[in-house]
Structure 1
Amino acid sequence: MTPLPDPPSPRPNTAFRRLRGPLSAAEFAASVRRAAREIGEQVSCDARYVGRVESGAIRCPNYAYERVFRHMFPGRSLTDLGFASRESVRGHGAGPVPAPAPGAGASVDVSEESELLRRAFMTSGAAAAAAAATPLVPPPRRSGHRVGEAEAAAVEEAVRRIRVLDDRHGADTLYTHTAKPLSAAYALLDAGGYSRSVAARLYAGAGELAISAGWLAHDSGRLSDARSHYAEALATARVSGDPGLEAHAFCNTAFLARDAGRPREAVRAAQAAQRVAERLSSPRLLSLLALREAGGWAWLGDRGGCEGALLRAQTLFGRGPSDADPEWMSFYGEAELEGLEAQCWSALGDWGRAADHARRAVALQDPHFTRNIALFTTELAADLAQHGTPDEAAAAAGRALRLMDQVTSSRIRRMLDNTARRLRPHGSEPSVADFLDRYEAADRRAPAMSPAPAARPRRA
């Protein structure tokens, strides 16, 4: 099918770009998230969202973003910030909105959907909010109807929502909720009838959804499901010629291979990701990929290979953020660098060095990333237990246990279980005994660790 001509290009939002100033898109996105927390809002702002605002693709923000922007820039109206008025975008005052043609499918209002999700998140927790995300990706319209900007935006917003919920809560309550948006995204691709620009966004969005599903499967202990999702994302990247998506898929494949006990595969996948990422002008991405390689070398017991990859990661990280940094890398800051290095030293058996890096990772972590705070605190406890300091290990494990009231991650929970087992021989020490009592009480309240996995989310 011959692609339809592209729609006219949106008008860049130069006013908003001026407000960003010297900050990179990723740094500005982080400041938006911090401002949101100050007023009790929940927004999934990242570098790509900032880029879409500045390009004019987002003519008017949803209500949650509007409140955050007004908080950040008091006294400025939406038009002062470079946006169109809400009435002009939503058609208020422009006469009655015609009903959709029979069979044309429901229209998608992403702004209103975002507000509904925010309310669900605030009142009902992660599972309800994840369920609220599933209508975001609309079904394909009947033959002859164009798949356009609204559908592409819906896929992209579904990816952002899933990531924000995972940052806060971990994977266990979210994984099964990825089935509907993932299948709908690929069904939209199969429907055809879209322009080249929309096609590029749909391929990228569907691939990122597949990676998100893979990560949630990985973090909830469904490693074979994760491997299949990453393979699907890699195939999507290859078909669409998207090096950013391909690098992301290889990055996560490397991480999964390491955790699945295939460290040589982890090295190969990380190296493949680096070859692809050389085209993307993002030192931070190359830094993360070097860390993935370092993890593989560490699990192979190759200290020299690990140290070489760590040095590259640190050097590349030191070059700073860039506008070319992918939006999914919003989690990758100094805390993540420290945490991943801690994992390397732990795998090499250098427990004291691992604990030092894990301690820094906890101290540096952005409060938005509750799941990662729980992860690095759990790693710190494990390293301290191996290092022979049970009192400190029990204190760290107790902090991690409290965080597990907010985070549902089978991967982190298994790590905490292993630390508890290591500490039991030291149960005569009061601090250790106190932790073990609280751990066992929490364990009795917790659901079974490994329920039979639900059907793996698949494309239609």
Structure 2
Amino acid sequence: MADRRKIPNLSLRALREEELQTSRHEFAQRVVKTGQEMGEAVACSKRLVAAWEDGEVELPRPVYRRILTRMTGRTMAELGFRAGTAAASPISEVNGTDSRKAPVDRRAFLTDGAGVAVTLLPALPPAGDLPPGRIGTRNVRAVHKAVRTIYAHDHDHGSASLRQKASEALHRAYNWLQDGQLTDRTERQLRSATGHLSIAVGWLAYDSGRPADARSLYGEALAASRIADDRALEGHAFGCLALLAKASGRPREAIAAAQGAQSAVRTFGSPRMLSLMAMREAGGWALLGDASATDTAIVRAHHLYAKGPADADPDWLEFFSPGELAGLEALARADLAQHERAAAGAEQAVLLHGTQFQRNRALYTADVAIQHAVRERPEPEAAAEAAGRLLTYLPDVRSDRLLQQLQNVQSALQRHAAVPAVADWLEEYRTTTGTS
């Protein structure tokens, strides 16, 4: 697929500069504030505003469309976005109807979803007007665009339909590094971009239940960060290794990796990135059973988060909203067997996410159900209600982790099968997932 020509959004830029008389950073802050007033948690940055104005994004994500319309009183077309084009979003819907309540083919849920209608990545085109074999900044931008597209689709639909195409893109980026003609500056930029792409592909592997693949990809990203002297990439890679270590039951490794991430980005200028890594450290301490160290890390994470967004915040950090902060704390509380606090925190996470990050909302909804079922004084009706909400995310969200969480919910509720609401849910679960 040929790379489209970017058309700058002069209408949006004129509105910001001439009518509102704000910088990109100030405009992003207005977006965040308007979102908060609407109950929409977003982490808009000046980089995102630049992407809108430069034509890199033809049409914002739905949550931003709602916020921009409310904030400016203008339609997307009036704001200069190409709302009528088929390529307006890098992601096509899985299908044209609301199929979330339809029965799920369990085998299809587990597959890569090769038949899903998703425009995931551009073909990562050659550098166009550059000599054959010469790699330039267009190639670097294409890799960054691939990373953004992966995360955007993954947040709402999970990893199943992405892995093959994302792996092919990573292979092509590595080919550019190995075989292309690059200046020293472009090589460093491309190596850094490829490291971020390696993390994105590693995340898909993790979400798909392939921890060994994820660990290898995160290791490649860590090596790329050292070669490119990219501290933000190094911190991101260490943070992912911390998450993977915790998921694999290695708490001390998770703590060490999270502390390594904080050391890498301590002077980077992003308090919220430090906050995320402090919360990853808290998860390691919780799995180790150290409540005091967990609380210390959680308090530090909240303190850092309260400092607000910064220009240095990387684009991938957009997912780390107030809802995600609450959700990560809830997971730590669950590991400490503080089930009542964990259930309340997971419910708060779902509410704070609003309409964003559908896969994460589904996972935290599962946590709500589990914690209500296993607490010292179980509330099976509340567990069944949350479990019922969980089923509505299928099959739109396709994630091995979500499938595992569904099984965990089923196991937790099975002990309360005599309760009518639970019995009804168990029957719906069997019908929906095709299990016996």
The alpha-carbon deviation at position 345 of structure 1 amounts to: 0.6
| Correspondent of 2:383 among 369, 382, 393 | 393
**Secondary structure in 1 matching 2:381:** helix
Shift of 1:442: 1.6
Separation (CA, whole Å) in 2 of partners of 1:76 and 1:440? 44
What's 2:303 paired with? Answer: 315
Could you list the runs of 5+ residues in structure 2 that have no partner in the other structure? 1-7, 100-112
After superposition, the C-alpha distances for 1:45-88 in whole angstroms (9 at most, x for unaligned) are 8653434567xxx3x4554359969967577999998x9xx9xx
Alignment equivalent of 2:408, drawn from 418, 436, 459 = 418
Amino acid at match of 2:59: A
TM-score (ref. length: structure 1)? 0.76
Listed as ranges, the gaps of 5+ residues in structure 1 are 1-9, 39-43, 87-111, 447-460
Shift of 1:128: 5.9
**Which residue matches 2:107?**
none
Give the counterpart of 2:417 among 419, 427, 447.
Answer: 427
Look up the SS of the partner of 2:59 in the other structure: helix
How far apart are residue 174 of structure 1 and its match? Answer: 1.7
What amino acid sits opposite 1:421 in the alignment? S
Counterpart position of 1:345: 333
Structure ranking higher on relative contact order (CA contacts 8 Å, 6+ apart):
2
Contact kept? 2:52, 2:58, Cα under 8 Å? no
Q: Distance in 1 between matches of 2:383 and 2:123?
A: 43
- Report the Cα distance in structure 2 between the residues aligned to 1:158 and 1:128, rounded to whole angstroms: 20
The 8 Å contact of residues 170 and 371 in structure 1, kept in 2 or not, is answered as: yes
How far did 1:332 drift?
Answer: 0.7
2: distance between equivalents of 1:186 and 1:303? Answer: 43
The Cα of 1:186 is off from its aligned counterpart by: 1.6
Output the TM-score relative to the length of structure 2. 0.79
Residues 253-299 of structure 1: CA distance to partner in whole angstroms, max 9, x if unpaired? Answer: 10010001111100000000000111211111111000000000000
1:231 aligns with 2:219: yes
Over 3 Å counting, the alpha-carbon distance change for 1:66 and 1:345 in structure 2 is closer
Residue deviations 1:376-401, cap 9 Å, x none?
10111111111111111111011011
Equivalent in the alignment of 2:364? 376
Structure 1 residue 269 and structure 2 residue 264: aligned? no
Match of 2:246? Answer: 258
Deviates more, 1:360-369 or 1:254-263: 360-369
Among candidates 143, 146, 168, match of residue 155 of structure 1? 143
* Residue 14 (structure 1) shift: 7.5
Please say if 1:137 is aligned against 2:124: yes
* Alignment match, 1:297: 285
Q: Is residue 130–residue 174 contact of structure 1 (8 Å, CA) maintained in 2?
A: no
Aligned counterpart for 1:220 among listed residues 194, 201, 208: 208
Mapped to 2, the partners of 1:33 and 1:175 lie a distance apart of 32
- Asked whether the 8 Å contact 1:33–1:45 carries over to 2, the reply is no
Deviation at 1:32, TM superposition (A): 11
1:426 positional shift = 1.4
d(CA) in 2 for partners of 1:349 and 1:413?
A: 23
CA shift in 2, pair 1:350/1:281, >3 Å: same
Matched, 1:64 2:72: no
Letter in 1 for 2:141: A
Which is further off, 126-135 or 362-371? 126-135
**SS class of match (1:271):** helix
2:195–2:224 CA contact under 8 A, matched in 1: yes
Cα offset for 1:313? 0.4
Aligned CA distance change for structure 1 residues 190 and 120 (closer, same or farther; 3 Å): farther
What is the identity, as a one-letter code, of the residue corresponding to 1:393?
A
Change (3 A) 1:33 1:185: farther
Letter in 1 for 2:144: E
SS at match of 2:119: helix
The answer to whether structure 1 residue 439 and structure 2 residue 434 are counterparts is no
In the other structure, the counterpart of 2:49 is 50
Give, in angstroms, the shift of residue 415 of structure 1: 1.7
Amino acid at match of 1:403: Y
Contact 2:370 2:413 in 1 (8 A): no
Q: Which of 317, 327, 343 is the matching residue for 1:329?
A: 317
1:137 partner amino acid: L
Residue matched to 1:92: none
**Cα offset for 1:204?**
2.6
- For residues 407 and 78 of structure 2, the distance between their equivalents in structure 1, rounded to whole angstroms, comes to 54
Comparing 320-329 with 149-158, greater Cα deviation is found at 149-158
CA distance in 1, matches of 2:374, 2:419: 16
Taking a change above 3 Å as real, the CA distance of residues 441 and 80 of structure 1, as seen in their structure-2 partners, is closer
Distance in 2, matches of 1:391 and 1:70, equals 39
**Alignment partners' CA distance in 2, 1:170 and 1:134:** 16
1:319 is paired with a residue whose SS is: coil
Identity over aligned pairs, percent? 38
**RMSD over aligned Cα atoms:** 3.7
1:201 Cα offset (Å)? 3.5
